[in-house]
Homo-oligomer: A and B are copies of this chain.
Amino acid sequence: MSKYGMQAIFTAKTGQRDVLANILLEAAAGLQSIKDCELYIVSVPETDPNAVWVTEVWSSSEAHKASLSLEETKAAIQRAKPLIDGIEAVELKPLGGKGIIS
């Protein structure tokens, strides 16, 4: 079973980036106890004041899908939705490297 990676780029409504980033950081905190979630990193690019990047690695795509039905995840999505103008998401297959379980 191969790992599942996701690079999501959220475009926040003007002036809402930091509020959105905090909601996503809270979601990351909630995932600390979820073994199948290896990475959930919230970053911002220097070049776009409205963008928030979330980099995820999961043990499998099934584990990622299952996480979407967690009450905490659903609550975070509801809180974040009104702050979001757009989402780009690229699915990735992590091959390995430093910082994920090999």
Contact = CB atoms under 8 A, between A and B. Distances in A.
A65 interface: no
A42 B94 CA distance: 6
Contacts of A45: 90-93
Contact of A95 (B21, B46, B93, B97): B21
A95 B43 contact: yes
Contacts of A43: 5, 92-95
Q: Dominant SS at the A interface? A: strand
Given A46-B91, A53-B92, A91-B46, A41 B98 contact: yes
B99 A41 contact: yes
B90 A47 contact: yes
